[in-house]
Amino acid sequence: MALEADRPVRRADGDDLAFVTARVVDAQGRAVPRAPQALRFSLEGEGDIVATDNGDATSFQCVSSSRRKAFGGQALVVVRDRGSEMKLRAEADGPQAGELLLRARP
């Protein structure tokens, strides 16, 4: 699993959001666009998972869920910063998992 934030640092004011793209990748780091894995997101630190999405217009899953099925091998998770550092983790069925350290300034 590869995680990439939209920018390296945000404000820790409770209003700024991080948009993180989760991509399902194989052992060599290559994208797996047909991967249908159900992804689970968790967050350590001061912050909240606000929403998840995958771009699938036919999905009726609630956006406030911390679980999302990959669509085209990708999903999006939106995180609200409330502290200086958080660790976002994405897991799927199987051995792959990914972590991303998110930093914010006061």
Q: The domain that contains 33 carries what CATH number?
A: 2.60.40.10
Q: 10 pLDDT band (50/70/90 cuts)?
A: confident
As for how many domains the chain has, the answer is 1
**3-class state of residue 30 by DSSP:** coil
Question: What confidence score (pLDDT) does residue 52 get?
Answer: 97
Residue 104 falls inside a structural domain: no
In sequence order, the 6+-apart residues with CB closer than 8 A to the CB of 46 are 12, 81, 82, 83, 84, 86
Task: Decide if pLDDT at 66 tops 90.
Answer: yes
Residue 64 falls inside a structural domain: yes
Residue 84 falls inside a structural domain: yes
For residue 71, what are the domain limits? 2-93
Question: What confidence score (pLDDT) does residue 49 get?
Answer: 95
In sequence order, the 6+-apart residues with CB closer than 8 A to the CB of 84 are 12, 46, 103, 104, 105, 106
Question: What confidence score (pLDDT) does residue 95 get?
Answer: 64
